[in-house]
Amino acid sequence: MSSNATAGAVAPADDERGMVRVVIASLMGAAIEWYDFFLFGSVAALVFNKLFYPSFDPLVGTLLSMSTFAVGFLARPVGALVFGHFGDLIGRKKLLVASLLLMGGATTLIGFLPTYATAGVLAPILLILCRLLQGFAVGGEWGGAVLMVAERGSARRRGFWSSWPNVGMPIGQGLAIAVLAILTATTSDEAFLSWGWRVPFLLSALLVLVGLYIRLSMDESPVFKAAQAAKLARERAEASKPVMPAVQVLRHYWREVLRVMGARFCENVNGYVITVFTLTYATTHLGLDRQVALNGVLIGCFFHALSIPVWGALSDRFGRRPLYAGGAAGIGIWGFVLFPLIDTGSSFAITAAISVALVCHGAMLGPQGAFFSELFGTSVRYSGASIGVQFASIFAGSLAPIIAVALLAEYGSSIPVSVYMLITAIVTVSVVLTTRETRNRDLSFDHTDPAPAAVAAVPATR
């Protein structure tokens, strides 16, 4: 089957009718889930070392706190397998609703947890369990949110439209940082440690209700519905048993999974270095005011969110590969500028340093939804994209704050952290540049389909 045909041959004739509504639903749901996930990381960087690991040296306590943050990443591949499996079998929408409920429930529970002072060792254990639930839920979030948009409309603007669910990432993070910044500005350190840190976790319950209403209003992906009908008809005709999507991924798309993992490496590592580790670096290592660091990340998230759809649109014109590789290269170089600017202690310099870094990061997130979706066939797309993205997180984002803090503790300098950022960029640039361009690929293609539809041979549109 040709992989360069236009998706417009399979999508409804009214290419982008209802696209805005679906984009808003995916964007808002993703923002709420990422609010929950990033909130944990931000609070872990600021106060969890004092509340759940108070008997250790501050930097060691921060390492333990970051380790708890990393635990969530171990559950993400499991979530990817489970949500991907059922998302490829019964649909994207149902699994997106389930992931939102699970994430919101786990986050709200964190707001009620006892601290080490009242529950002893049970406190960090409960914290870790909630973090595992968060990781499991977010493991199924990205693939479903992106596919609901990517599998709709024509290939001509797929990069732009598919970038919007990723805008939910900086919006969710910015919302988490904003709530923390407001609480930091309006409460004393004692009050924040006592009860203030709980407020943003409890707010998650309200956000989930909003997200649930929005997600229930979405329609199922038309590409998935067409592929599902064809698959069921073929299975009835051949009296064959369905094969697990994950098995099909490993059989037919293992190279694509490895490519996703390599492309994801730089993006995932540096997303957390820029937004989580810099908080620890500024407050714990440099002793700067917490508000200054939070404001820098908050404003950076604003520019991050603005840049993602711009990069996505540019990828429709120039291709996924050059934009993605350029963003990774920019991160690798900017890492050597980022920390010296933070060292100045200037609010403007810190904000500029983080903002530029996140705009470079946006050059990877912008094309990512379309790029990764275009690598996999319809019957395994949820599983394949989710497995690649979330397995990469184990070796990338989960370890990034820990490695960065450990390097800082060992060498007392930010230069090793910058070298670490550069190495991740080299890995990702190498993988992306050895991957074929996917722009305009037909999303109805499927290597697992023994009888591809003749419609897939329609030439690509530009």
Encode pLDDT of 68-116 as tens digits: 767 777 888 888 888 877 777 777 777 878 888 888 888 899 899 998 8
Q: Specify whether domain 16-225+240-451 bears CATH 3.40.718.10.
A: no
CA 453 – CA 307 distance, rounded (Å)? 37
CB 290 within 8 A of CB 283: yes
Say which amino acid occupies 23.
V
HSE-up of residue 265 (Cα within 13 Å, Cβ side): 23
Assess contact for 276 and 41: CB atoms under 8 A.
yes
Q: Please give the single-letter amino acid code of residue 259.
A: R
Say if residues 444 and 226 touch (Cβ distance below 8 Å).
yes
Of the ranges 12-16, 91-95, 193-197, 262-266, which one carries the lowest mean pLDDT score?
12-16
pLDDT for the residue numbered 447: 55
Of 79-88, 95-104, 149-158, 238-247, where does mean pLDDT reach its minimum?
A: 238-247
The pLDDT of residue 231 is 64
Greatest mean pLDDT range, 33-42, 118-127, 297-306: 297-306
Predicted confidence at residue 337, as pLDDT, reads 96
Summary mean pLDDT of the chain: 81
User: What percent of the chain is modeled with pLDDT above 70?
Assistant: 82
Average the pLDDT over each of 20-24, 141-145, 230-234, 417-421 and give the range with the smallest value: 230-234
- Report pLDDT for 323: 95
Residues 6+ apart with CB under 8 A from 41: 69, 272, 275, 276, 401
Q: What is the mean pLDDT of residues 166-174?
A: 85
Highest-pLDDT range among 30-44, 174-188, 209-223:
174-188
Could you tell me if 123 and 54 are in contact, meaning their C-beta atoms sit under 8 angstroms apart? no
**Cα distance between residue 65 and residue 294, in whole Å:** 18
DSSP single-letter state for residue 52 = T
Confidence check: pLDDT of 358 > 60? yes
What pLDDT score was predicted for residue 305?
92
CA distance 352 to 425: 21
- Is it the case that residue 118 has pLDDT exceeding 80? yes
Alpha helices (runs of H) in 91-139, residue ranges in sequence order:
92-110, 116-119, 122-139
Torsion, Cα 211 40 371 252, to 10 degrees, reads -100
Q: Taking the chain, what is the end-to-end CA distance rounded to the nearest angstrom?
A: 20
> What pLDDT score was predicted for residue 322?
95
The alpha-helical segments, DSSP class H, found in 273-380 are 278-280, 290-318, 320-343, 347-373
The C-alpha angle 175, 266, 60, rounded to 5 degrees, equals: 70
Radius of gyration over every alpha carbon of the chain, rounded to an integer in angstroms: 22
Within 10 angstroms of residue 121's Cβ, the number of other Cβ atoms is 9
Name residues whose C-beta falls within 8 Å of residue 307's C-beta, 6 or more positions apart in sequence.
Answer: 358, 359, 362, 363, 366
Provide the residue ranges of all domains of the chain, joining segments of one domain with +. 16-225+240-451
Environment class of 281 (CB within 10 Å of its CB; exposed 0-12, middle 13-18, buried 19+): buried
Question: What is the C-alpha separation between 143 and 76, in angstroms, rounded?
Answer: 12
Question: CB neighbours of 258 closer than 8 A, spacing ≥ 6?
Answer: 388
Long-range (24+ apart) CB contacts under 8 A made by 117-122 are: 117/51, 117/54
Instruction: For 187-215, write each residue's pLDDT tens digit.
Output: 888 888 888 889 988 988 888 888 787 77
pLDDT at 17 > cutoff 60: no
Given this model, what pLDDT does residue 58 score?
A: 63
